[in-house]
Structure 1
Amino acid sequence: MSIRVIVAGASGRMGQEVVKMIGQHDHLILTGGVSRSQKGRDIGEALGLAPLGIDFAGSVQEALAKFDADVLVDFTTPQTVKENMELAIQAGVRPVVGTSGLSEQDLKELEELCRERGIGAIVAPNFAIGAVLMMVFAAQAAKYLPHVEIIESHHDRKLDAPSGTAIKTAELITKNRPEMKQGHPEEEEVLDGARGAYYQGFRIHSVRLPGLVAHQEVLFGGSGQLLTIRHDSLNRESFMPGVKLAIEKVMELDHLVYGLEKILDL
Structure 2
Amino acid sequence: MPQKIKVAVAGARGRMGQEVVKMVLQDPELELVAAVSPSAAGVDAGRMVGMESVGVQVESELETALRISKPDVLVDFTTPQTVLHNTETALKYGVRPVIGTTGFTPEDIERLDKQCKELGIGGLIAPNFSIGAILMMKFAAEASKYMPHVEIIEYHGDQKLDAPSGTSIKTAELISEVRQELRQGNPKEEETIDGARGGYYNGFRIHSVRLPGVFAQQEVIFGAFGQTLKIRHDSYDRAGYMPGVNQAVKKVMTYAGMIYGFEHIMD
C-alpha root-mean-square deviation of aligned residues, in Å?
0.9
Which residue is equivalent to 1:32?
A: 34
Question: 1:64-119: per-residue Cα shift (whole Å, max 9, x none)?
Answer: 11212100000000011111111111211100010011111111111111111111
SS at match of 1:82: helix
2:131 corresponding residue in structure 1 = 129
Which residue of structure 1 aligns with residue 252 of structure 2? Answer: 250
Alignment-derived partner of residue 174 in structure 1: 176
Task: Kindly provide the amino acid, as one letter, of the partner of residue 197 in structure 1.
Answer: G
Q: Distance in 2 between matches of 1:253 and 1:74?
A: 19
Distance 1:47 1:20 in 2: 7
Task: Give TM-score scaled by structure 2 length.
Answer: 0.97
Within the candidate set 199, 220, 239, 1:237 is matched to: 239
Q: 1:135 aligns to what SS in structure 2?
A: helix
Task: Report the Cα distance in structure 2 between the residues aligned to 1:72 and 1:118, rounded to whole angstroms.
Answer: 16
- Residue by residue over 1:178-236, the C-alpha shift from the partner in whole angstroms, topping out at 9 and shown as x without a partner, is 00100001000010000000000000000111111111010000111110000011010
> What amino acid sits opposite 1:146 in the alignment?
P
Q: Could you say which residue in structure 2 is the equivalent of 1:94?
A: 96
Identify the residue that residue 166 of structure 2 maps to in structure 1: 164
Out of 178, 185, 188, the position equivalent to 2:187 is: 185
Aligned residue in 2 for 1:116: 118
C-alpha contact 1:90 1:117 (8 A) present in aligned 2: no
Describe the SS at the equivalent of 1:95.
strand
TM-score normalised per structure 1: 0.98
Distance 2:157 2:91 in 1: 31
1:132 and 1:152 mapped to 2: Cα distance? 14
Q: Distance in 2 between matches of 1:116 and 1:21?
A: 30
Distance 1:59 1:106 in 2: 23
User: How many equivalent residue pairs?
Assistant: 265
1:96 and 1:246 in contact (8 A); partners too: yes
The offset of 1:154, in angstroms, is: 0.7
Separation (CA, whole Å) in 2 of partners of 1:22 and 1:126: 18
Matched, 1:5 2:7: yes
Q: Distance in 2 between matches of 1:129 and 1:91?
A: 30
Task: For 1:105 and 1:37, locate their aligned partners in 2 and report how far apart those are by CA, in whole Å.
Answer: 32
Which among 12, 16, 19 is matched to residue 18 of structure 2?
A: 16
CA contact 2:6–2:71 (8 Å) conserved in 1: yes
Q: Which of 199, 203, 207 is equivalent to 1:205?
A: 207
Superposed displacement of residue 172, structure 1: 0.3
Q: Aligned equivalents of 1:4 and 1:236: distance in 2? A: 22
State the identity %: 58
Q: Which range moved further: 10-19 or 52-61?
A: 52-61
Deviation larger for 128-137 or 51-60: 51-60
Instruction: Report what 1:146 is aligned to.
Output: 148
Q: Once structures 1 and 2 are overlaid, which stretch shifts more, 10-19 or 62-71?
A: 62-71
Paired amino acid for 1:220: F
CA distance in 2, matches of 1:238, 1:71: 21
Deviates more, 1:135-144 or 1:206-215: 206-215
Q: Deviations over 1:137-165 (max 9, x none)?
A: 10110100000000001111111000000
Whole-angstrom CA distance in 2 between matches of 1:47 and 1:128: 21
Query: 2: distance between equivalents of 1:244 and 1:104?
Result: 25
**Which sections of structure 1, spanning at least 5 residues, go unmatched?**
none
Contact 1:122 1:259 in 2 (8 A): yes
Q: How many Å apart are 1:45 and its aligned residue?
A: 2.1
Could you say which residue in structure 1 is the equivalent of 2:262?
260
- Secondary structure class of the residue paired with 1:229: strand
